[in-house]
Structure formats: structure tokens, C-alpha cells
């Protein structure tokens, strides 16, 4: 196997998986939240879409009920790391498994990953991934939203 410079992974900058960091642990689960997808909620979303792209029938998605997975998980009660020089949002992803409709959804947020690495300058980076599973009243998975929090510490 040949590794060229474009695909090279520097062992010093690779992420190492952690089971916990401070008060934050992989597997922490927040109490279930309910999300009521009402006709009014759907109408507001469709009006906003129409104002931008016109009258287009766009199916609802998990991002319509969980627009910021990191904030959603924090509001559900999951902790965020403290004691770092900086904390930034590291991005979000959404995966839809079934169409959304009118009705009640259950949202359960969990910490699914904690990883750390050192930058070339010696600063500590810790990445925490928060995952929220959305299920319908039958328990069927509707979607999954993930938010990443990046914490930056001082030099070693």
C-alpha cells in the first residue's frame, strides 16, 4: 500500500477516542422530549420556503423540527464541556429515515462521541458529538440529527 502526501495522516494530529472528558461522558442520554408537528408549524415552514423559492411542494425533513442539533441537545439537558479557552460549533448533519407528517414525535438526545487531539502548535482539541433520534408514536425512526461541539484548550 502506498500513501501519498495528500492522504497522509500525521499520528500526532489523529483523533483519539475518549469515553469521557470532564463531566461529559459517551452514552449520556437526556430525557425524551416531545415535538408536536402541527398543521400551523407545517404552514409556517411552507410559507417560509415559498417566500424564497416560490410555491414548491417540499417534503418536511428532520431539520425542520430540529434545526440546530447541538442547541436541541443542550436544551434537553446534556452538558457541554467547560474550562476550555474557546468553544465553537463544529457543524451539523441530518439524516431523514421517513417522511414527517402532522403529529407527535419523540426526540432523544445522546452524547455519541468524544475525541481529542493536539494541534501542531500543541493546543488541545476536544470534539463532542451530540445525536438526536426522532421517532414517531409507533417508535419508528423518522430521522437523526447530529451536532458537533469543538473545544480548544491552551498549549501543552
CATH number at residue 23: 3.10.129.10
pTM for this prediction: 0.85
Q: Which of 7, 57, 74, 66 lies closest to 37 in space, CA to CA?
A: 66
For residue 83, give the 3-state DSSP assignment.
Answer: coil
Q: The domain containing residue 52 runs over which residues?
A: 15-155
Per-residue pLDDT tens over the stretch 36-83: 999 998 888 888 888 988 888 778 889 988 999 999 999 999 999 999
Domain count, the chain: 1
Per-residue pLDDT tens over the stretch 93-127: 999 999 888 899 999 999 999 999 998 888 999 99
Q: Within a domain: residue 7?
A: no
Amino acid at each position: 500500500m502506498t500513501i501519498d502526501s495528500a492522504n497522509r495522516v500525521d499520528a500526532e494530529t489523529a483523533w483519539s477516542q475518549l469515553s469521557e472528558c470532564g463531566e461529559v461522558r459517551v452514552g449520556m442520554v437526556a430525557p425524551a422530549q416531545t415535538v408536536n408537528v402541527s398543521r400551523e408549524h407545517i404552514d409556517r415552514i411552507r410559507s417560509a420556503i415559498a417566500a424564497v423559492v416560490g410555491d414548491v411542494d417540499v417534503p418536511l425533513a428532520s431539520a425542520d423540527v430540529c434545526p440546530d442539533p447541538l442547541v436541541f441537545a443542550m436544551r434537553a439537558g446534556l452538558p457541554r464541556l467547560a474550562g476550555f479557552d474557546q468553544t465553537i460549533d463544529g457543524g451539523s448533519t441530518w439524516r431523514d429515515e421517513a417522511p414527517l407528517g402532522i403529529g407527535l414525535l419523540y426526540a432523544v438526545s445522546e452524547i455519541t462521541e468524544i475525541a481529542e487531539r493536539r494541534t501542531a502548535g500543541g493546543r488541545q482539541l476536544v470534539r463532542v458529538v451530540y445525536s438526536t433520534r426522532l421517532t414517531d408514536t409507533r417508535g419508528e425512526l423518522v430521522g437523526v440529527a447530529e451536532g458537533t461541539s469543538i473545544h480548544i484548550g491552551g498549549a501543552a
